[in-house]
Amino acid sequence: MHYHYLTIEQRESIDHLIRARIEMLRGAIGDALRQSGNAEAIGLANHLEEIDDDAVADLERALDATLLERELAELRALESAAGRLHTPEYGVCADCGGDIPYARLKANPAAERCLACQERFERSHPGGAAPRL
């Protein structure tokens, strides 16, 4: 039986983790953009909180995007998790509908699958789509 329940304290703890990691990623991405010496990238760095898909596309053309791909993907996943955090769907596995354990969510607040489903997903998508822990 699945209860789909996280306490207010657990959600607040995860919210703090998400916000801290987002701030750290924005800083790291901004620093990398500024160090690139590319005027367009520096402009994006100065407005990182406003980045949307068009700006990311411009960024990918302006820089060697492979250096920032992981950080940008994590940032997007965390921002998505922040938007879901206080909804009933947060903490519920996208595949099986079961609870994602609090310990897993603390380790990876953007997790959309329980561990068993994530492992199954990764086995069925080797080298394909990036896994979403």
Q: Domains of the chain, with CATH numbers?
A: 8-124 (1.20.120.910)
pLDDT digits (tens, 9 = 90+) for 64-92: 556 678 888 999 999 999 999 999 999 99
Q: What global pTM score does this model have?
A: 0.72
In our burial notation (b when 16+ CB lie closer than 10 A, e otherwise), range 100-111 reads: bebebbeebbbb
Q: Tell me: pLDDT of 105 over 90.
A: yes
Measured distance between the N- and C-terminal CA atoms of the chain, rounded to whole angstroms: 23
